[in-house]
Amino acid sequence: MSMLKKIVWVPLVFCCQILYCQNMFDEAKILMREEQYTDAISLFNKVIMDNPWNFEAWKGICESYSMCGQIDSAQLMAKKSMSYFRGNEELVKFYSNLFWSFEAYEYSAYWYDIVYKMEPSELNRAILVLSYKYSGIDAYKSGQWEKS
């Protein structure tokens, strides 16, 4: 392949891949609105495999898993996303609120603990304590969370 063809071909392939991923992402969001969460999960997985830096796809897959009642899978994906977005306050807050809204207090406590360390406010502390209390986590009972 000539140099000129490579100069044209590589950006063209890259642009097509981006458009393809965006199209899958948009379709996954539509499926979520239509409450077809299992199908949305499949598309979000494909988007993430093609572009693991797609912030919104991680949020979408975690929310879809939660809506299917697969809270453990949502937590697993949330933790996995942190390998790409370590310390991203917006994403950590999204996960803490997501798990709180599904009454998955143990997972919510995990994420609120991170939020509290990032932003030690009285509100975050209160929510963290409630997450621990509602989940019945031994760390709450023994007061260990205050030491960390």
Q: What is the pLDDT of residue 12?
A: 41
Is the distance from CB of 131 to CB of 109 less than 8 angstroms? Answer: yes
Instruction: Check residue 1 and report its DSSP letter.
Output: -
> What is the dihedral sign for C-alpha 25, 66, 101, 36?
positive
> Average per-residue pLDDT in the chain?
83
Q: Tokens 């998955």 sit at which residue?
A: 104
Query: Does 147 have pLDDT greater than 80?
Result: no
SS3 call for 4: helix
Q: Would residue 143 be called left, alpha or beta, if left means φ above 0 and alpha means ψ between -120 and 50 degrees?
A: left
**132-141 pLDDT tens trace:** 888 876 655 5
Q: What is the pLDDT of residue 44?
A: 95
pLDDT band for position 16 (50/70/90)? very low
Is the distance from CB of 29 to CB of 13 less than 8 angstroms? Answer: no
Angstrom distance (rounded) from CA 51 to CA 54? 6
User: Which residue, 17, 18, 19, 86, is CA-closest to 58?
Assistant: 86
Query: Does 13 have pLDDT greater than 50?
Result: no
pTM above 0.75, yes or no: yes
Q: What is the pLDDT of residue 21?
A: 53
Angstrom distance (rounded) from CA 133 to CA 4? 64
Instruction: Name all contacts of 22-27 with Cβ < 8 Å and 24+ positions apart.
Output: 24/50, 25/54, 25/56, 25/57, 25/60
pLDDT band for position 97 (50/70/90)? very high
